Amino acid sequence: MANELLLKYGCNPNQKPSRIFMKNGGELPVTVLNGKPGYINFLDAFNSWQLVKELKEATGLPAAASFKHVSPAGAAVYVPLPETLKKIYFVDDLELSPIASAYAAARGADRMSSYGDWAALSEVCDKETATLLAREVSDGIIAPGYTEEALAILKTKRKGNYNVVQIDPDYVPEPIEHKDVFGITFEQGRNQLKIGEELLKELPTANKELTEEAKRDLVVSLITLKYTQSNSVCYVKNGQAIGVGAGQQSRVHCTRLAGNKADNWYLRQCPKVLALPFKKDIRRPDRDNTIDVYISDEYLDVLADGAWENFFTEKPEVFTREERRAWLDTMKGVALGSDAFFPFGDNIERAHKSGVEYIAQPGGSIRDDHVIATCDKYGIAMAFTGIRLFHH
């Protein structure tokens, strides 16, 4: 390990010089095993590593994340994947270890956003995970270690330039952190808040029942939010984030953005979508883009100009709004976390449309009574955590 690593440039090519280094003169806790990660790569690497490390500590399960531009496109702990999810994640032809399954779920929830991602694993990267990564478009990976087979596979990716970073899992950062903006140094204590089920004890709603699965999913949502650019909202089901809304100025826009992603995740599981007659030579990213269009009103334009012939062996029927709504109405048991309080009940109204039955948020709004009443209207159980999770 070294004290510093020189980088090609900063966020943009005109921002030089660029490096990462230890101010205290100690050694960096990371080793680059392959490639040459850049400034944004390392921002994604360090944020995503913290997320998966905390998910593993909080749940005891292997965890993975898929990061883009310093926010998670997806995050998940290991829960065995049903065949339908394996199919829509394009991993039904692979052998999946627990950590490979977690990464498949993290990347698969929002495949469009995960295109060109940075992957993070809480466990040693094995052959199964490396095989999955080798055929996806990805910028790099951070993990506490790699098997010889996994490293050999990853070194063949991107013409041998795939970024592979190993981190010391025992590294503990200084309790005070600094950030320079406009030539001025900011200082604050690191957010070392431990997130667990103990934050879910205050339930002001009429429904006070949280299943064990709901508690796990709410914890996953809150830890994901801890490393998501604010404002942020996260929908979770079966141990994986299915919709993350990041960096919005309005909370309801976070809720809508994340809810739309959760809806798309569920719509992709509809039998009508699973049966789409794709041509055999269609690449996975093109399938993702085409499915995204098919489950939206944009498909009418595709039919009108005949572009469907580029992707399908025959013209699929329109997936009507009524059909989509009917399918979405069968989505249940979704958990939702928010990094700050909901100021209005409109967030709950939107969350309900995406099958949300459990919510965790700080509370503390002057309109808490209205938010609680809206939850009670739909039988939603909501916990007030009393903690805010802004991340900038």
Q: Catalytic residues, which ones?
A: 68-69, 231, 392
Return the structure tokens found at 19. Answer: 């490096």
> 137 and 257 in one domain?
no
Mean pLDDT of 15-38: 93
Q: Is residue 391 part of a domain?
A: no
Sign of CA dihedral 235, 238, 240, 243: negative
Q: What is the pLDDT of residues 180-238, one digit of tens each?
A: 999 999 999 999 999 999 999 999 999 999 999 999 999 999 999 999 999 999 999 99
pLDDT of residue 62: 98
Tell me which residue of 70, 143, 132 sits closest to 105, measured CA to CA.
132
Which of the four pLDDT bands, split at 50, 70 and 90, describes residue 304? low
Return the structure tokens found at 328. Answer: 């979405």
Instruction: Look at residues 172, 202, 224 and tell me which one is the last residue of a structural domain.
Output: 172
> 366 and 253 in one domain?
yes
| 378, pLDDT greater than 70 | yes
Q: Is residue 182 part of a domain?
A: no
> 137 and 247 in one domain?
no
C-beta separation of 359 from 338 below 8 A = yes
Provide the domain count of the chain: 3
> 238 and 226 in one domain?
yes
| 384, pLDDT greater than 80 | yes
Q: What is the pTM of this model?
A: 0.95
Q: Is residue 177 part of a domain?
A: no
The DSSP bridge pattern shows strands 163-167 and 138-143 to be: parallel
pLDDT of residue 1: 61
Centroid of chain to Cα 253? 17
Q: What is the pLDDT of residues 125-160, one digit of tens each?
A: 999 999 999 999 999 999 999 999 999 999 999 999
| 287, pLDDT greater than 70 | yes
Tell me which residue of 129, 108, 121, 128 sits closest to 50, measured CA to CA.
121
Which of the four pLDDT bands, split at 50, 70 and 90, describes residue 28? very high
> 119 and 28 in one domain?
yes
Sign of CA dihedral 131, 78, 247, 166: negative
| CA-based end-to-end distance of the chain | 28
| 369, pLDDT greater than 80 | yes
Full residue range of the structural domain in which residue 361 is found:
187-267+328-384
Q: What CA–CA distance (Å, rounded) separates 200 from 217? A: 11
E strand or H helix at 324: helix 321-328
- What distance separates the 2 farthest-apart alpha carbons in the chain? 64
> 138 and 86 in one domain?
yes
At CA 382, angle to CA 84 and CA 352, rounded to 5? 50
E strand or H helix at 183: none
Mean pLDDT of 88-108: 97
102 contact partners, CB below 8 Å, separation of at least 6: 61, 62, 63, 64, 76, 77, 78, 121, 122
> 262 and 249 in one domain?
yes
Q: Is residue 253 part of a domain?
A: yes
The 10 Å Cβ neighbour count of residue 379 is 12
Q: Is residue 180 part of a domain?
A: no
Mean pLDDT of 58-83: 97
Which of the four pLDDT bands, split at 50, 70 and 90, describes residue 303? confident
Please, is 388 exposed, middle or buried when counting C-beta atoms within 10 Å of its C-beta (0-12, 13-18, 19+)?
middle
Please, what's the b/e burial string for 233-256 (b: 16 or more CB within 10 A of its CB; e: otherwise)?
bbbbbbbbbbbbbbbbeebbbbbb
pLDDT of residue 74: 97
Q: Is residue 165 part of a domain?
A: yes
pLDDT of residue 18: 94
Instruction: Look at residues 172, 198, 227 and tell me which one is the last residue of a structural domain.
Output: 172
pLDDT of residue 38: 95
The DSSP-derived string for 73-115 is EEEEE--PPPHHHHHHTT-TTS---HHHHHHHHHHHTTHHHHT
> 260 and 210 in one domain?
yes
Q: Is residue 389 part of a domain?
A: no
The DSSP bridge pattern shows strands 4-6 and 63-68 to be: unpaired
CATH code of residue 332: 3.40.140.20
E strand or H helix at 58: helix 39-59
pLDDT of residue 2: 76
- In the block, which residue shows the tokens 């939603």? 380
| 261, pLDDT greater than 80 | yes
pLDDT of residue 34: 97
> 263 and 277 in one domain?
no
> 276 and 255 in one domain?
no
> 234 and 99 in one domain?
no
C-beta separation of 107 from 119 below 8 A = yes
Q: Is residue 44 part of a domain?
A: yes
The DSSP bridge pattern shows strands 184-189 and 176-181 to be: antiparallel
> 32 and 69 in one domain?
yes
Q: How far is CA 244 from CA 298, 308, 386, in A?
A: 23, 30, 21
